[in-house]
Amino acid sequence: MNPLRPFARDLGAWVRNRPALARLLLRCMPDWHIHVMVPTVGRMRVRLRRNRSYWLRAPLDLERYPMGMLRAMVRPEHTVWDVGANLGLYARWLVAVPDARRVVSFEPMSANLPELHYNLALGGVADRVSVVPWALSDTDGEVAFQVDDMQSASGTVNAVTGGEACRGRAAVGLPPLTERVTSRTVDAILQQGELPMPDVLKIDVEGAEHLLLCGGDRFFRESQPRLVIETHGLEVSKRCLEFLFDRGYHIAACVNPDWELSRFMRLQRDALNRMVGMYDVTFIAASKNAAELPTRIT
């Protein structure tokens, strides 16, 4: 364990209670490259400011539920689409832990692509991971993309924010940072045979989850891929769940601890009426075969 991590965590908590100071410090923090050790994954290169979750806390703490879901659902013979690849953490993990045969990493943000390629090479997995510089949504063509260079080194298609700054920049009072990226739909990619069909999709697209599902409506209706989705907000969570239930999926999810103390449970359609908070359902595991869903997360 990094001996400075408890101090950094306590300092971070103190600063978060002083929003004006937090905004000032964040805007002034340099964004140098540093290297960190990630359990089961190995050494990774990150940036000091925008990837600070890697050094402020144990890097996999926030990944317990999605990685637990993937561990139960990915087999060595599978091809996995890692949608929202960021710096390559999941691509590296998918090769190292469930031993996925092939990973296709989708990452549209131009600043992340050199970091992604570097980390794949650093982990010795570049021969098993393909990098595709596209966003996946309900649109085929060039779209505006809101970049988060302050909080998570991520971003989302403009349709999610309505032209406003992404969450990380808005939190420190900065205007939108926009770039143009290629957006594709799952159905168009597969109909044109551009990439191998996924057995499993890991989806983390900062609010564009439902747009991605709609762009693959034919595939999700006619095929049986397994999905692990991080949802961002109450309404998009509800829309994703409704979409999946309507197409014959069984669902388990990370839920509000008031619903289930372990935070992990199977969901039925009536959960839609129970959802009132943005964190009631956060990570979704979905399969058309109920036996493929994890029963618990360890």
Phi-psi region of 80 (alpha: psi -120 to 50; beta: other; left: phi over 0): beta
In single-letter form, the type of residue at position 236 comes to V
CB neighbours of 224 closer than 8 A, spacing ≥ 6?
A: 287, 288, 289
pLDDT tens for the 298 residues of the chain, in order: 555 555 455 545 544 555 565 566 666 678 899 999 999 999 999 998 888 888 888 889 889 999 999 999 999 999 999 999 999 999 999 999 999 999 999 999 999 999 999 999 999 999 999 999 999 999 999 999 999 988 777 889 999 999 999 888 887 788 999 999 999 999 999 999 999 999 999 999 999 999 999 999 999 999 999 999 999 999 999 999 999 999 999 999 999 999 999 999 999 999 999 999 999 999 999 999 999 999 989 7
pLDDT of residue 24: 62
pLDDT of residue 27: 65
CB neighbours of 173 closer than 8 A, spacing ≥ 6?
A: 23
pLDDT of residue 21: 58
Name all domains of the chain by residue range, CATH numbers in brackets: 58-292 (3.40.50.150)
pLDDT of residue 62: 86
Location of structure tokens 């988060």: 148
User: Do β-strands 264-267 and 33-38 pair in parallel, antiparallel, or remain unpaired?
Assistant: unpaired
Separation between Cα atoms, residue 21 and residue 225, nearest integer Å:
46
CB neighbours of 237 closer than 8 A, spacing ≥ 6?
A: 231, 275, 278, 280, 281, 282, 284
Secondary structure letter of residue 223 according to DSSP: S
229: number of Cβ within 10 Å: 30
